[in-house]
Amino acid sequence: MGLSKRCIAEAIGTFWLVFGGCGSAVLAAAFASKLGDPAATVNLGIGFVGVSLAFGLTVLTMAYAIGHISGCHLNPAVTAGLVAGGRFKASEAGTYIVSQVVGAIVGAGVLYLIASGKEGFTSVGDFASNGYGDHSPGKFSLVSALVAEVVLTFMFLFIIHGATDKRAPGGFAPIAIGLGLTLIHLIGIPVTNLSVNPARSTGPALFAGGWALGQLWLFWVAPIIGAVLAGATYKAVFEAPEKA
């Protein structure tokens, strides 16, 4: 498959990740309804568990849809980690990353159009942006956010490398990767809203502006560090040697 078609697939897949994952956080995480009774408010929101599952499902569904086309990276950190692990050409990494960021921005833009259509809308708020300190859901520090993003990205890339190893059972990689992303969201949402994906962080931050753009650097640096460490570790310790 040509590079241009693979990049289009990456853009569409990353669009789906941001629209589906961040959309669940913005539109459905906390949802109150009167259900016909003005005196009774019922919480119908999906909460942290629902948002975590939504992110996992976006990757699982796209892995089956475009994994055979582009490899379904959907994430600059994944691309960097696969380069470090010897699974992807460094010469194509930049083009993939640009495609992922474009898809993420379009996904966030479509989500903004939907969210802004609600009566009484005034601003996007944090728009599912990633943050630390006062902008962490649990008010976790910069150091906590840095450690969480590095470690959780490391584990995510380790899962990806292991699940897609030629020695692993065939056909199950998308399930392992999707559930892995769900799990790390369950751990990390209270800390940073969880990124492990610079493209996912960039799209919403552009619409939230202000502090979200000011803290965006961490959600590029930490995931890429974690991903490169995971790729290099798997290659050095666990990768099967090439047959002569």
pLDDT at 43: 85
* Residue 32: strand pairing partners: 43
pLDDT at 241: 79
Name the DSSP class of 21.
I
First vs last Cα of the chain: how many Å apart? 27
Give percent helix, percent strand, percent coil of the chain, each to the nearest 5: 70, 0, 30
* Residue 43: strand pairing partners: 32
For the stretch 153-186, what's the b/e string if a residue is b when 16 or more beta carbons lie within 10 angstroms of its beta carbon?
bbbbbbbbbbbbeeeeeeeebbebbbbbbbbbbb
Query: Quick one: tokens of 183?
Result: 């799990």
What angle is formed at CA 67 by the lines to CA 66 and CA 69, rounded to 5 degrees? Answer: 60
Domains of the chain: 3-117+125-237 (1.20.1080.10)
Dist CA 19 CA 23 (whole Å): 5
Nearest to 94 by CA among 108, 80, 107, 73: 80
pLDDT at 22: 97
The pLDDT tens digits along the chain (244 residues) read 899 999 999 999 999 999 999 999 999 998 888 776 776 778 889 999 999 999 999 999 999 999 999 999 999 999 999 999 999 999 999 999 999 999 999 999 999 999 999 888 888 889 999 999 999 999 999 999 999 999 999 999 999 999 999 999 999 999 999 999 999 999 999 999 999 999 999 999 999 999 999 999 999 999 999 999 999 999 999 998 776 5
pLDDT at 124: 85
pLDDT at 34: 73
3-state secondary structure 193-207: CCCCCHHHHHHHHHH
Task: Give 109's contacts (C-beta < 8 A, 6+ positions apart).
Answer: 203, 207
Dist CA 70 CA 85 (whole Å): 17
Nearest to 126 by CA among 135, 118, 117: 135
Q: How much is the pTM? A: 0.95
CA atoms in the 13 A half-sphere facing the CB of 211: 13
